[in-house]
Amino acid sequence: MDIKVTFPDKKEVLLPAGTTVGDAIEAWRKEMIPATVAAKVNGVSVDLNSALLGDAAISLIDIKTKEGLAVLRHSISHVMAQAVQDVFPGAKVSIGPSIEDGFYYDFEYKDSFTREDFAKIEERMKEIIAANYPFIREEVSRRQAVKLFEERGENYKVELINDLPTDVDIVSLYKQGNYIDLCRGPHIPSTGIIKAFKLLSVAGAYWRGDERNKMLQRIYGTGFPDDAALADYLILQEEAKKRDHRRLGRELDLFQINEEAGPGLVIFHPKGMLLRYIIEEWERKEHLKRGYDMVMGPQILKVDLWKKSGHFDHYRENMYFTEVEEQAYGIKPMNCLSHMLIYKSKIRSYRDLPLRFFELGTVHRHEKTGVLHGLLRARQFTQDDAHILCTPEQLNSEIRKIADFVNYAMGIFGFEYDVELSTRPENSIGSDQDWELATSALENALKDNKIPYEINAGDGAFYGPKIDFKLKDALKRKWQCATIQCDFTLPERFELSYIGADGEKHRPVMLHRVILGAIERFMGVLIEHYAGAFPVWLAPTQCVVLTVTDKHLAYAQSVYDKLIVAGLRCEKYFENEKLGYKVRQAQMQKIPYMLVIGDKEAANETVSPRARDGEKLDAMPVNKFIELVHDICAKNK
């Protein structure tokens, strides 16, 4: 029996039923095979050795695409797991997915893995790759799979199978050589396709991310289509270490996270708080320019309110709770509830809309210890949160205005960005109709603004779809900061309404949005983006006055006083130290300008600025330097 196969160029051919996907592609265009690691058949990702049993539309998954890299890296994780079990008999495997920049696999083993073990594991991986074992998919009954993994002592795999929905009767296994794993796939055709990989680090990880479970050992690695791409990545990783905001936070005296206070809780030092203040003040001014009203809600709200909103059912594992006078309260993980109570405080007319409530709101979320990461993932943080309540007719315009605001902000702070539209997750509230309306509203606004975007299926908030803006830093890493979420559900749950032109009650639509996101997270990204060398307008310290000897103290102090009065953020290095030492200190603190005060400057009542990059400016009066800094700041914000 022949089947009809349609290829990406719309070409249709008849092939015998049972032809593999790889053979079909090879018959179509043989030159495409080397770069193809898997394919989609009627929209479903499959292995190249999968058989075509009916009419099919085929699209290719290229090894250099995001999806293709994920297939490659997941396949490498299987090779690593096989190598670990070969080198360390008795090691048990659990899960090993691909991640943003690579892959990991979690193991249970009696001894601790070290970085010194990586060479032995990598050597065995190379042998497995050289053997060019095919990745063979096999579908077996649930009962057979449990029996197989019980016999192999793989209790984690048995638990995963037993936790599958009861209606799942068939599971898929993958084999390469003597290694068998529980996996949905797809995988590359064979191990020999792997060309470039590297094991990177090892860390502890609780089974299923739950601290009540056993601590496993997680080995991280990465893989690329070729050695050149891997080498480029490793160079970027070394640069990333130098830019690590936690290290720079200590060196530049910006903040600390102290175990005495608690993990995930940030303590800002004076310079760090000044940087934060600059960012927040910029935000307040920009929001006021755009017609936002500033509001503030309490840190705790009654649990009944969180139940009404749906957070208690869908988000409570991330919340903290307390009790006051036998009344249960939830510490807010989000700011939206207070804003809706503000809306409900009086009758609203269509003439009042849109209403834009803005709050730099501090929230608390119960993040697991294993995912905490300096400023980038904390338990207490402040969001530049706003909720826009508008009529359905105003929705498109409001979304487009937010997108314009994000674009402006990213330009001010020096970031490029990509955009994703995240759709309905499995765990959600609201009707199908509302989700379709909300998703269409976001998508149409992106199209109207001519903003390119990708679909991120199933990653929306539980109450609505969202647009995510992924900013790219100096190392081209992506960070989630700005977001726009469209919500028909919460206005329904809280019975929000406005009086329309027809005199009847109507339901408003709510947009949840942040521009920079969590202030702490954005600061962490800024520190790494600029490697701590902030532009003049953002720098906590814009200049430092340095004396050559003590006889210049009086004039240096007068310069410092003028700079402070003029609004410049200035420090003074008047210690009885050599000038070279003071200059090095200023350079280590990445201060934009050093003003050296010696005999000539004191006599002529001038300053001689040295820029952070080593450029020496001509001597100038203090007022001229103040004007210079003000002009630079005005051009950059």
Residues with a known catalytic role: 336, 365, 383, 385, 387, 466, 512
Length of the chain: 637
CB 372 within 8 A of CB 517: no
DSSP state of 191: G
* Separation between Cα atoms, residue 315 and residue 407, nearest integer Å: 30
CA dihedral sign of residues 493, 496, 502, 503: positive
Sign, CA dihedral 518-417-427-310, equals positive
Q: What angle do CA 586, 589, 593 make, to 5 degrees?
A: 50
Q: Are 585 and 572 in contact (CB under 8 A)?
A: no
Spatial distance between the Cα atoms of 199 and 102, rounded to a whole number of angstroms? 10
Distance CA 368, CA 211 (A): 8
User: 515 and 480 in contact (C-beta within 8 Å)?
Assistant: no
Residue 239's φ and ψ, nearest 5 degrees, are: -65, -35
In which region does residue 420 sit, left (phi positive, over 0), alpha (psi from -120 to 50) or beta (all else)? Answer: beta
User: Radius of gyration over alpha carbons of the chain, in Å?
Assistant: 29
Measured CA to CA in angstroms, residue 139 lies from 2, 135, 184, 216, 342 at distances of 25, 13, 10, 28, 56
**CB atoms closer than 10 angstroms to residue 30:** 9
- List Cβ neighbours of 159 (8 Å cut-off, separation of 6 or more): none
Nearest to 23 by CA among 110, 617, 179, 15: 15
Is residue 315 within 8 A of residue 429, CB to CB? The reply is no
Q: Are 101 and 229 in contact (CB under 8 A)?
A: no
Do 272 and 251 form a contact (C-beta atoms < 8 A)?
no
Residue 38 has, within 13 A of its CA and on its CB side, a CA count of 23
According to DSSP, the β-strands at 196-206 and 215-224 are antiparallel
Before 186, cis peptide (omega within 30)? Answer: yes
> Do residues 280 and 272 lie in contact, with contact meaning Cβ atoms separated by under 8 Å?
no
Block residue for tokens 């009861």: 166
Bridge partners for 332 per DSSP: none
**Residues facing residue 219 across a β-bridge:** 105, 202
Pairing of strands 300-302, 509-518: unpaired
Single-letter residue type at 70 = A
Question: Which residue, 467, 501, 473, 500, is CA-closest to 486?
Answer: 467
Provide the token pair at 29: 């265009």
Distance CA 542, CA 552 (A): 21
Residue where the block lists tokens 């594992």: 317
Residue pair 287/294 in contact (Cβ under 8 Å)? The answer is yes
